[in-house]
Amino acid sequence: MTDADRPTVVYTDGSCLGNPGRGGWGWVVPGAAYASGAEGQTTNQRMEITAALEAIRALVTPEHPALEVVSDSTYVVNCFTQRWWVGWHRRNWMNSQNKPVANRDLWEPLIELALDPAHQITWRWVKGHSGDRWNDVVDQLAVAAATSGRGTSGR
């Protein structure tokens, strides 16, 4: 297996000060790149989805299409590991309670990117606030973005 074949591991997280309230999202590749962003009025769930979406947009390339997204959000991870999106599509974007899927405007582009056959996206859940070093780092990025109202990026 070459380096190009190995998935890049990225940790993602969302934060919200109040729910709804000012929010932040972040992603970090351990020991490498990171980014975060903020929104003025949002929810924690929207920030969790946005973190994964922004990570995929930033990190997946034709030369390096494999990405492992690590998140403490069961909402995001279960959408893919339990294939919730299949039912949403079959029911025309209604959930299992026959109500419109929340955050569809974010889910649609995330699902499209995650399921693109040119990409190899995998998902892993990690327990939040459990001492996982990189989950703690990305949590700090998301909280800082929510608190300051500004994002950051770097390597």
Domain boundaries, the chain: 8-154
- The pLDDT value given to residue 6: 87
Q: Tokens at residue 123, please?
A: 């998902």
Choose which CATH entry (3.30.9.10, 3.30.420.10, 3.20.20.140, 3.30.70.2190) describes domain 8-154: 3.30.420.10
- The pLDDT value given to residue 1: 56
Q: Specify the pTM.
A: 0.95
Among 113, 114, 84, smallest CA distance to 101 is for 84
Residue with the two structure tokens 């939040």: 128
The pairing of strands 8-18 and 21-28 is antiparallel
- Taking only the tens place, the pLDDT of each residue in 79-131 is 999 999 999 999 999 999 999 999 999 999 999 999 999 999 999 999 998 99
Active site (catalytic) residues: 13-14, 48, 72, 129, 139
Contact assessment for residue 56 and residue 123, using Cβ atoms and an 8 Å cutoff = no
Among 30, 18, 73, 39, smallest CA distance to 150 is for 39
- Taking only the tens place, the pLDDT of each residue in 17-71 is 998 999 999 999 999 999 999 999 999 999 999 999 999 999 999 999 999 999 9
